[in-house]
Amino acid sequence: MVVDQLSRSPEKDVALDRLFQALADATRRDIVARVTAGEYSVSGLAALYTMSFAAVQKHVAVLERASLVTKEKRGREQIVRGNHDGLQKARHLLDHFEMIWRQRASRIADILAEDDERDLP
């Protein structure tokens, strides 16, 4: 599902809740980092952690519902990949913060520059 980034809607709130819950777990963040870099099978992921295959499968399902990863059947394997559209939303927000802080830094520089002027004889 594509969620409109500019308007608030019940669909968007649900999507945000899912994204929040999905990223609130260290294992799931690790899975996202790995499958964003390259595809993994669910069993390949399960081999990386001390938890059961079923537990890893559950984590993948949570990430899939949050649109952070996609899952696709290939023969007997389930292949997990990063969903770049889902990650794009979080990245978009961090871009906003970059803009906020660039503006703040420039205002700080202005304040400090005024000092220099005042200190001149």
Alpha carbon distances (Å) from 92 to 10, 24, 44, 59, 121: 20, 19, 30, 24, 47
Nearest distance from C-beta of residue 73 to another protein, angstroms? 26
Nearest distance from C-beta of residue 54 to another protein, angstroms? 24
> Using CB under 8 A, which residues numbered 23 to 42 contact another protein?
23-24, 29, 32-33, 36
- Asked whether position 50 contacts another protein by CB under 8 A, the answer is no
Q: What is the DSSP string of 71-99?
A: EEEETTEEEEEE-HHHHHHHHHHHHHHHH
- Asked whether position 11 contacts another protein by CB under 8 A, the answer is no
> Using CB under 8 A, which residues numbered 54 to 113 contact another protein?
87, 89-91, 93-113
- Asked whether position 3 contacts another protein by CB under 8 A, the answer is no
Contact in structure between 15 and 3 (CB atoms under 8 Å): yes
